[in-house]
């Protein structure tokens, strides 16, 4: 049995990467992996075991540290705890583990779900960060991220989600072992899926520009005027909103996989004009 210490920061956003990590934590024991989970959260944020209760029985240890709120002082407290006080907690735990994910140590393995935001040429990224936030946060974030990217270039312990991401990382000098496929279809949920609705065209993803949702909406807008029944499901990306369009049904963020698969089974066409994916597990689903 391989023992893995996984350090998670903040409440995870709905995404394919979060779903994949959920499966890894839940099903790890089937493949000889046992996890300890350390979460650093701000006030009001939910724990992973609250979002995914089925992972709790797979955990060796589960520690939660709540540090500050989401205001400026909360961000400072969060940063100081992560950079200084957390080190002692991790050192005490890592001795009994074979691999550490999410925290730099001699046992660290880097887990890539996307290309690093900070990558060469670094000066362009820094200017972009300055436009996105204030100079202090931009500088701290840039230095820390640039150091992590540089370390990953030298590391032989990099894991990434899928072959496509492996090729993208290779272009910037990072070599990784791909998980291919990086996620799993929930077969029990497939078996319980039923035809529950009459849908001609269905689009499901994390809704936003990266997954081609604006294009999907435009296609559905035109087809709905011709009598086609269209529907969309999934969590909304930050800053993205769905305008009310006659004939277009928004089913919300469907977390029940059996229900999601039922809508897929009920539709005649699955529409997924994604611009970027590490794998695209929704296509396999």
Residues 6+ apart with CB under 8 A from 100: 4, 5, 7, 90, 94, 107, 108, 109
The CATH number of residue 169's host domain is 3.40.50.80
Domain interval for residue 191: 187-284
Whether residue 200 has pLDDT greater than 90: yes
- Residue where a domain stops, chosen among 123, 153, 179: 179
Same domain, 274 and 219: yes
Q: Is the pTM of this model over 0.85?
A: no
d(CA 280, CA 183): 9
- Residue where a domain stops, chosen among 135, 153, 179: 179
- Residue where a domain stops, chosen among 163, 179, 195: 179
- 85 prior amide bond cis, ω within 30: no
Same domain, 209 and 272: yes
d(CA 209, CA 237): 9
Residues 82-112: pLDDT tens digits?
A: 778 888 888 888 889 999 998 888 899 998 8
The pLDDT, as a whole number, for residue 260 is 93
Count of the separate structural domains present in the chain: 2
Rounded to the nearest 10 degrees, what angle do helices 135-154 and 122-132 cross at?
A: 150
The CATH number of residue 271's host domain is 3.40.50.2000
Residues 29-59: pLDDT tens digits?
A: 988 999 999 999 988 899 999 988 999 989 9
Which residue in 33, 58, 45 sits closest to 8, CA to CA? 45
* Rg (the chain; Cα; Å): 21
Residues 6+ apart with CB under 8 A from 161: 17, 20, 112, 113, 178, 179, 182, 183, 278, 279
- What is the 8-class DSSP label of residue 45? P
């Amino acid at each position: 049995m391989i023992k893995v210490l996984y350090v998670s920061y903040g409440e995870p956003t709905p995404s394919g990467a979060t779903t994949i990590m959920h499966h890894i934590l839940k099903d790890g024991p089937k493949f000889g992996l046992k996890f300890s989970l350390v979460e650093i959260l701000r006030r009001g944020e939910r724990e992973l075991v609250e979002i995914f209760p089925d992972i709790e029985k797979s955990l060796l240890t589960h520690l939660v540290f709540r540090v500050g709120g989401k205001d400026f002082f909360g961000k400072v407290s969060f940063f100081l705890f992560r950079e200084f006080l957390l080190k002692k907690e991790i050192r005490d735990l890592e001795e009994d583990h074979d691999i550490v994910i999410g925290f730099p140590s001699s046992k660290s393995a880097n887990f890539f779900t996307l290309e690093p935001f900070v990558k060469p040429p670094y000066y362009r990224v820094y200017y972009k960060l300055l436009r996105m936030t204030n100079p202090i946060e931009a500088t701290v974030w840039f230095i820390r991220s640039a150091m992590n990217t540089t370390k990953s270039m030298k590391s032989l312990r990099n894991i990434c989600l899928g072959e496509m991401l492996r090729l993208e990382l290779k272009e910037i000098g990072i070599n990784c072992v791909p998980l291919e496929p990086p996620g799993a279809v929930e077969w029990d949920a497939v078996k319980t899926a039923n035809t529950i609705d009459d849908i001609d065209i269905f689009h499901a993803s994390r809704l936003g520009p990266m997954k081609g949702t604006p294009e999907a909406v435009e296609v559905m807008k035109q087809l709905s005027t011709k009598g086609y029944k269209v529907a969309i499901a999934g969590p909304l990306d930050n800053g993205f909103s769905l305008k009310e369009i006659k004939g277009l049904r928004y089913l919300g963020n469907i977390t029940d996989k059996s229900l999601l698969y039922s809508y897929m089974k009920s539709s005649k066409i699955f529409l997924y004009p994604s611009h970027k994916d590490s794998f695209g597990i929704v296509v396999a689903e």
